[in-house]
Amino acid sequence: MSPLSQDASSTSPSSVSSDSIKATLLRLVSDYQDMNGTHFQTIEGPPSALEFAKLVHLGRPVLIKGLARSVPAFDKWDAEYLTSALGDQQIGVSVTPDGNADALVEDDDGTTFISEPHSETMSMGDFLEKLKAHSHSEVLYLQSQNGNLRSPDYEETEYAALRDDVPSSFSWASDALGQEPDAVNLWIGGSHSQTSLHKDPYENLYAVLRGSKTFTVLPPTEGVLLGTQLYPHAQYHRSSPTSPLTLVPTFPDSPTTPTVPWTPINPIDETTHTSLYQDFARPITIRVEEGDGLYLPFGWYHFVTQEPGDEGFCSAVNWWYDGDYRGERWSMREMMDRLAREVGWSVRPPGAEEEEDGEESDDDEEDDP
């Protein structure tokens, strides 16, 4: 621990009133909104490395028209091609009762869990047929992420037959960021699949190949309005191939012990909105059409829905570049989060006490599109 950290931790926060901290946080939220508004920039075609470096420096979402059309997969990946390319290869598919994977779910006893989906294997052909038929009683989503197309840690994945159709990086992005992507991910689903509100520790480039995606996003400054709480963890399971899904707590010895920080806010469901969010948040809605792409900056909160294309599915690929923690940006965000916890707007995640005593820790953010 540095001497500065020791001095800071010994200073009593009670010397500043809670109301004063709240007012300061809201002023910061308001200042950002006044300076930036709720608009987003749209550009035609992929930028140059210099242009992209400027966009990253600004740290605002950018709709990139035609980005996906620059990816070879855009002209190839119809249902017939995907089915033929992968053949009998078994792929992992997430299964939930309602399309809400990695989301808050209330069980029959009224306990709210952060839930992970059940995973099943099937061929790409069977998966696409089920999406198209709309007759499956459960919701299927190909969302394994973590470099399911390309990753520095894995030579081959179950989608190896598709890798040549997707570039490992965009030269203009890699040159601007000074690195190669940490992961390249494939996503395929239908209209019932959605991604709950979260943030990622990545600079995210997202290309929609079929259908469309709608991103509801909020800047990091509005994270203090999201009421993050701790929830116990659970996962969907089934006892046999034909049995219904059931939600099973991950830690049977203490099934309701809250351990995972998550926001209860769903931007498109007003019943989940707190008065703090309702009064002060200014979410931005960005629809990414087939053939287009989105740059989503490191640390921006996003909620995602999708609509299928002509063949009954929505598909997309994204490139995750590690976020840069140097400079003042990340430290300022951490300070806002600590102040929000101090006034009771959110709770401390496990391990935060050690972090706030000045110890370093691993990034605790979630990885989703």
Q: Give the CB-side neighbour count of residue 311, counting CA atoms within 13 A.
A: 19
The confidence score (pLDDT) of residue 154 equals: 61
Domain 16-356 maps to which CATH number in 2.30.110.10, 2.60.40.10, 2.60.120.10, 3.40.50.1970?
2.60.120.10
**Cβ atoms 95, 120 nearer than 8 A:** yes
CA distance 205 to 301: 15
pLDDT tens digits along 305-347: 999 999 999 999 999 999 999 999 999 999 999 999 999 999 8
Asked whether the CA dihedral 96, 186, 299, 349 is positive or negative, the reply is positive
Give the C-alpha distances (Å, rounded to integers) separating 259 from 161, 196, 229, 231, 248.
39, 18, 9, 6, 15
The confidence score (pLDDT) of residue 101 equals: 80
Percentage of the chain lying above the pLDDT 90 cut: 76
Helices of type H across the chain: 3-10, 18-36, 49-58, 73-76, 79-86, 124-133, 171-177, 275-280, 329-342, 352-356
Q: What residues does each domain of the chain span?
A: 16-356
Residue 178 has pLDDT above 60, yes or no: yes
Q: What does pLDDT average to over the chain?
A: 89
Residue 156 has pLDDT above 80, yes or no: no
Specify the pTM: 0.90
Point out which residues pair with 184 in neighbouring strands: 150, 319
pLDDT tens digits along 85-132: 999 999 999 999 988 888 999 988 889 999 999 999 999 999 999 998
Placement of tokens 């052909």 in the chain: 125
pLDDT tens digits along 222-263: 999 999 999 999 999 998 888 999 999 988 788 778 889 999
CA distance 213 to 286: 8
